[in-house]
Structure 1
Amino acid sequence: MDGALYLGVDGGGTGCRARLEDAAGTVLGQGIAGPAATRFGIEASWQAIETAARHAIAEAGLDAAQVGCIRAGVGVAGIGRKGARAALEAIRHPYASIAFTSDAMIACLGAHGGRDGGIVIVGTGTCAIGRIGGREMKFGGYGFPISDEGSGAYLGLRALQHSLRAHDGREGGSVLTRELMARFQDDPAEVVLWMDRSTATDYATFAPLVLRQADQGDAVARQVVQDGAEHVNGLVRALLAEGAPRVSLIGGLASAMEAWLAPDVRRRLSPTLGDAVTGALALAGRR
């Protein structure tokens, strides 16, 4: 096996994926492993990265000399935590080179074929990431509930707030508010108990209901989704204002929310060209 070899690794918070390719883009091997987010510790993060990489290398049948020719690109969830990048970069490895960035940035690189552009992630949370002319930028994504506007968690929170106000008689109710309150036995105290132990992921479980009711014309649901969509509009426009030549919407709620975006924003969206591992390969140097 001659020529350059490239290893791309997407080290996410729920799992790790690796792909080994040659300079022509031929897939030589793939591997998977457990979560690689730095919140689990640097050692655990690196172990997941190496496990996925070893599986890909084993599938390709490389010997030690060939492994030494690999140029690796790795995106890691939580690499922005204080000291995380330096700790990862200090680890000894067998490759010719290794480059680290965030999992969001490799998703951005993958979406635009390794070229300049931006992504707006719409899932449990929201965030805008861009790379333009060598500059990296981020808007939002500071965490729920102080940020992540337009996300699944945001839709769930806003829907519950409307439901409680409707229960009090402070505003008109709807099918959505009545269905949500029924899940808590029509008892605000039950909502409070649930709130005390709930995370952004728990709030986001209500997002499919909110979106479904909005599509069916529920007035409260439509207001919640329209408010959320306006925040997503703002994230897209922030990237465009910075000069992003392409902007893509990604994440579990991307397709559902896209229909609610402003016409001028929808017109400027571009389809993704590749996945996060493709972005990691671009980070490694494969074009």
Structure 2
Amino acid sequence: MDSKNQQLYLGIDGGGSKCKAVIMNTDMQILGEGIAGAANPFHNLERAQQSIIDACVLALSDAGLERSAMHSLIAGVGLAGVNLPKYFQLMQEWQHPFKQMHLATDLHIACLGAHGEAKGAIMINGTGSVGYVTSGVESLVIGGHGFPHGDICSGAWLGFRAVEQVLLSDDKLIEDTLLTDKLFKKLAVKDANTLIEAIAGQGATFYGQFAIDVFDCAEAGDAIALQIIEQGAAYFCQVFDRLIAFQQGKVALIGGIKTRLMPYLPKRIHEQVIEPVNPPEYGAVLFAIKQVNS
């Protein structure tokens, strides 16, 4: 396919754990893809910008294009964190390398991708968590306040709660938990003191790595791990019900822990969820095209 004589688009989905990029042509055909590191400017502005560039370079290489082609791309960039006006403005002021950059929240591009249009509802449960629903005119965001202040039922929240419970168990304030052995081995620590040293100053991505351990321990019959998941699932249901009350319809589930979480959700939730039509980075390209044509 000759990509030199047509406008190419870059779609970016940047979150707390990774940044996904896709190169597409005007016919919405995927030419190349790439994945780089975390891209939430609320956590680290410079790292987010570098991750966008890194993911773009990988996608260009996958498409058989030179790095210099970056300057001809029209980019749709959806990021976690830019729902906060300060970080939206900082990203808008970025001297980016693209022909054009159209910035949106990760929620908006995820909804565009999931439903193929600018309306619908989504629940994101990855490193962070948030609910979003839009009618195309009005929208509602529930949660998404960031770790550690919010993001209940996210990977980071699950991991943080696991560490909290391990420390309580070590102090003999609650029962023993399989999480202790899991976390000690993963972090190569031997007791609570060395655990504290290992976790000091760590952020959402670090804690998100323990989410899988919480699910593994719960499935092995661990009561503490099960309590953590059930608390997260209860919050999930509250958010879900508010989304449905705002606009009746199906809710698309997105994020790395959704598959593990589903068995802990009631039947009524299962009946109202759908798989996304397309991923968020595809929605970012749709967003860029809409901005160019508006």
Which position in structure 2 is the counterpart of 1:230? 234
Residue 10 to residue 196, structure 1, CA distance change in 2 (3 Å): same
Which position in structure 1 is the counterpart of 2:11? 9
User: What are the ranges of 5 or more consecutive residues in structure 1 without an aligned counterpart?
Assistant: none
Residue 101 to residue 53, structure 1, CA distance change in 2 (3 Å): farther
Name the amino acid aligned to 2:22.
A
Which position in structure 1 is the counterpart of 2:32? 30
Shift of 1:86: 4.7
Whether the 8 Å CA contact 2:19–2:51 is kept in 1: the answer is: no
Which position in structure 2 is the counterpart of 1:148? 151
Which position in structure 1 is the counterpart of 2:259? 255
C-alpha distance in structure 1 between counterparts of 2:34 and 2:268, whole Å: 39
Name the amino acid aligned to 2:77.
V
Which position in structure 2 is the counterpart of 1:162? 165
1:267 to 266, 271, 277: 271
Shift of 1:49: 9.0
Whether the 8 Å CA contact 2:249–2:272 is kept in 1: the answer is: no
Residue 167 to residue 55, structure 1, CA distance change in 2 (3 Å): closer
What is the alpha-carbon root mean square deviation over aligned residues? 4.0
C-alpha distance in structure 1 between counterparts of 2:121 and 2:64, whole Å: 33
1:206 to 204, 210, 213: 210
Whether the 8 Å CA contact 2:110–2:283 is kept in 1: the answer is: yes
Which position in structure 1 is the counterpart of 2:53? 48
Name the amino acid aligned to 2:12.
D
| TM-score under structure 2 length normalisation | 0.75
C-alpha distance in structure 1 between counterparts of 2:35 and 2:167, whole Å: 43
Which position in structure 2 is the counterpart of 1:111? 114
| TM-score under structure 1 length normalisation | 0.76
Shift of 1:196: 2.3
C-alpha distance in structure 1 between counterparts of 2:97 and 2:201, whole Å: 41
Whether the 8 Å CA contact 1:119–1:128 is kept in 2: the answer is: yes
Whether the 8 Å CA contact 1:33–1:52 is kept in 2: the answer is: no
SS of 1:144 mapped into structure 2: coil
Which position in structure 2 is the counterpart of 1:215? 219
Shift of 1:284: 3.0
Deviations 1:177-219 (A, max 9, x none): 455467642x333333334233222322222121012112222
Task: Indicate the larger mover: 7-16 or 221-230.
Answer: 7-16
Residue 168 to residue 241, structure 1, CA distance change in 2 (3 Å): same
Identity of aligned residues (%): 26
Deviations 1:201-243 (A, max 9, x none): 2322222121012112222221111111112222222221211
SS of 2:25 mapped into structure 1: strand
Residue 192 to residue 42, structure 1, CA distance change in 2 (3 Å): closer
1:122 aligns with 2:125: yes
Aligned length: 277
Larger Rg: 1
Name the amino acid aligned to 1:207.
A
C-alpha distance in structure 2 between counterparts of 1:49 and 1:168, whole Å: 44
Residue 141 to residue 18, structure 1, CA distance change in 2 (3 Å): same
Which position in structure 1 is the counterpart of 2:136? 133
Whether the 8 Å CA contact 1:19–1:31 is kept in 2: the answer is: yes
C-alpha distance in structure 1 between counterparts of 2:240 and 2:12, whole Å: 24
Shift of 1:274: 0.1
C-alpha distance in structure 2 between counterparts of 1:98 and 1:224, whole Å: 40
Shift of 1:259: 1.4
Whether the 8 Å CA contact 1:103–1:276 is kept in 2: the answer is: yes
Whether the 8 Å CA contact 2:23–2:60 is kept in 1: the answer is: no
User: What are the ranges of 5 or more consecutive residues in structure 2 without an aligned counterpart?
Assistant: none
Name the amino acid aligned to 2:117.
G
